[in-house]
């Protein structure tokens, strides 16, 4: 079985590979930014819920003393 080289017109150039990598990098960067934004929103929501929890806990303690 002989090794066959692709026809010269079928070979991809370095510029084509580079363009493909740039496009994939852009796509991945966009996905990462979306994840970062979601994480920031979730952190803010968690912080708010923790504050609400603390306030409710304190209120329960006050009501229990009465």
pLDDT tens by residue, 3-39: 676 666 677 889 999 999 999 999 999 999 999 999 9
Looking at residue 66, its pLDDT comes to: 85
Residue 15, judged by CB atoms within 10 A of its CB (0-12, 13-18, 19+), counts as: exposed
Structure-token pair, residue 24: 């994939």
Q: What is the pLDDT averaged over residues 34-60?
A: 98
Structure-token pair, residue 43: 């952190």
Strands (E), 1-66: none
Q: Is the dihedral of CA 34, 40, 46, 49 positive or negative?
A: negative
Q: What is the pLDDT averaged over residues 37-59?
A: 98
Distance CA 30, CA 37 (A): 11
């Amino acid at each position: 079985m002989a090794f066959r080289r692709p026809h010269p017109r079928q070979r991809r150039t370095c510029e084509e590979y580079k363009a493909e990598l740039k496009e994939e990098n852009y796509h991945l960067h966009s996905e990462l930014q979306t994840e970062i934004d979601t994480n920031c929103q979730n952190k803010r929501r968690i912080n708010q819920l923790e504050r609400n929890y603390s306030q409710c806990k304190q209120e329960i303690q006050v009501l229990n003393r009465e």
